């Protein structure tokens, strides 16, 4: 009876004022998802990119994998997954585009884009979580806006800065060069959004259950509406 009483008190312990549990920890499933999506981003670098003359930064599908990671995993786990990919690449694994690796890539024109990767994934994940919690519809449109907005704010800001610093060009010239990436970026975000929606339908607890565990009510899945 004493044990039963203790368990009941534990279950009825109220949440902190912020609505989250400070004891929340990542489990094996979270770590596995981080590893899987880090591998996905690395695998996306194997697809040959399209070189743009004079810029030195190829168009790749890595940004598709990055925003997809954010839309599926949410902010913290997306940052961990893409951050792991970046750290491993800087440590020497040839997993950046064109097989590059090591700290030397930070001296190249792609430096700003690489630095932006985990930040974009994190912001897209943060926004995607809000879309799910508020049950915003149509979900594909909101996911696209979350992904493209994150890219616009971070990728297309830090990227040109890297071109300017390492390419020794003017800021205006760097931003003009970055315009060449906009059509492909829009297309990749258009692909990432419905893919993320499909993954959330197939695995409705991949992000929503974590939202519920952290004190926010998990939205009903599409099948329950």
Task: Please state, in angstroms and rounded to a whole number, the distance separating the CA atoms of residues 116 and 93.
Answer: 19
Per-residue pLDDT of 151-177, as tens digits, reads 999 999 999 999 999 988 999 999 999
Q: Of the candidates 141, 126, 27, which has an alpha carbon nearest to the alpha carbon of residue 71? A: 126
CB 83 within 8 A of CB 118: yes
Per-residue pLDDT of 124-153, as tens digits, reads 999 999 999 999 999 999 999 999 999 999
What percent of the chain has a predicted confidence (pLDDT) above 90? 73
Instruction: Tell which wins on pLDDT, 41 or 59.
Output: 41
Task: Please state, in angstroms and rounded to a whole number, the distance separating the CA atoms of residues 176 and 27.
Answer: 44
The residue assigned the tokens 């499909």 is 198
Give the tokens for residue 29. 């499933």
Rounded average pLDDT over 63-82: 98
What does the H/E/C string look like for 159-190? HHHHHHHHHCCCHHHHHHHHHHHHHHHHHHHH
Say if residue 215's pLDDT is above 80: no
pLDDT at residue number 20: 39
Verify cis geometry, omega within 30 degrees of 0, for the bond prior to 138: yes
Specify the pTM: 0.82
CB 125 within 8 A of CB 71: yes
pLDDT at residue number 9: 36
Q: Of the candidates 49, 185, 166, which has an alpha carbon nearest to the alpha carbon of residue 120? A: 185
pLDDT interval class at 12 (50, 70, 90): very low
Say if residue 29's pLDDT is above 80: yes
Topology adopted by domain 29-213? Arp2/3 complex 21 kDa subunit ARPC3 (1.10.1760)
């Amino acid at each position: 009876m004493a044990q039963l009483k203790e368990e009941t008190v534990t279950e009825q312990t109220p949440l902190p004022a912020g609505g989250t549990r400070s004891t929340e920890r990542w489990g094996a499933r979270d770590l596995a998802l981080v590893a899987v999506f880090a591998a996905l981003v690395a695998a996306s670098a194997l697809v040959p990119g399209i070189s743009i003359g004079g810029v030195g930064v190829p168009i790749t599908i890595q940004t598709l994998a990055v925003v997809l990671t954010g839309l599926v995993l949410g902010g913290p786990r997306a940052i961990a997954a893409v951050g792991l990919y970046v750290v491993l690449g800087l440590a020497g694994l040839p997993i950046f585009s064109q097989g590059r690796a090591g700290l030397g890539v930070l001296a190249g024109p792609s430096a700003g884009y690489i630095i932006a990767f985990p930040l974009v994934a994190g912001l897209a994940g943060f926004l995607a979580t809000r879309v799910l919690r508020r049950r915003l519809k149509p979900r594909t449109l909101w996911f696209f806006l979350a992904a493209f907005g994150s890219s616009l704010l971070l990728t297309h800001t830090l990227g040109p800065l890297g071109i300017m610093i390492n390419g020794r060009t003017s800021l205006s010239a760097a931003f003009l060069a970055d315009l060449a990436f906009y059509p492909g970026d829009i297309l990749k975000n258009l692909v990432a959004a419905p893919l993320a929606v499909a993954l959330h339908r197939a695995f409705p607890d991949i992000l929503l259950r974590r939202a519920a565990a952290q004190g926010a009510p998990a939205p009903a899945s599409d099948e329950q509406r």
